[in-house]
Amino acid sequence: MIRRAVFVVSVLLTALGGLPPGAVRAEPPSALGDLVDAAAQRLQTADAVAANKWLTGAPITDPARVQQVLAAVTADALAVGVPPDYATTVFTDQINATEGVQYSRFSWWKFDPSAAPADAPDLAASRSVIDGLNHEMVTQIGRQWPVLQSPDCAAALSAAKNTVADARGFDALYRQALD
């Protein structure tokens, strides 16, 4: 099942111009819908990244890559008027969630080696998708800054997460990661 999913990820990344699996856009339910959908798409890259790391023996955590991502989103945040500390916090959470999904996959494959992937997309291709989604997320944070700072933010964010998770068919793991 996972082998097939990893193959499908690879095909989709290529066929859809770099979009991760399930990348049919979920309809945004609110002002925060596009932001949450970009975050969901970013999370969906975790399976392909985990498969690559599993097969190459690379560690899940990559401090150099984390610093590269945080530097890029800080620069993007400054360009759109988002406080850099806010962007750093958001993306640290995103990175932690993605790593959590990867650890879950590694655990599954450790317990059931027959479920482990036989092949995986190139890590550089997945990272290119992630970088584009990071940029989109910072852009959306800038556009939706007033909503993100409003008293209605928690309700709007909760509604957007539920709608996007439902539209993407997220399981409990991905729902937790999106939360």
Confidence bin at 31 (pLDDT 50/70/90):
confident
How many domains are contained in the chain?
1
Q: Please report whether residue 26 resides in a domain.
A: no
Closest alpha carbon to 137 in 47, 14, 41, 20: 41
Residue 118: which CATH number?
1.20.59.10
Q: Please report whether residue 22 resides in a domain.
A: no
Using CA atoms, how far apart are residues 117 and 135, in angstroms rounded to an integer? 29
- State the number of CA atoms in the 13 A half-sphere of 84 facing the CB: 9
Q: Model's pTM, two decimal places? A: 0.83
Block residue for tokens 């099942």: 1
Using CA atoms, how far apart are residues 47 and 5, in angstroms rounded to an integer? 9
Higher pLDDT residue, 27 or 120? 120
**What pLDDT does 113 receive?**
96
Q: Please report whether residue 97 resides in a domain.
A: yes
Q: Please report whether residue 23 resides in a domain.
A: no
**Identity of the residue numbered 167:** A
User: Per-residue pLDDT for 21 more than 70?
Assistant: no
Structural domain of 158: 2-17+32-178
**What pLDDT does 174 receive?**
98
Using CA atoms, how far apart are residues 158 and 146, in angstroms rounded to an integer? 16
Q: Please report whether residue 36 resides in a domain.
A: yes
Q: Please report whether residue 95 resides in a domain.
A: yes
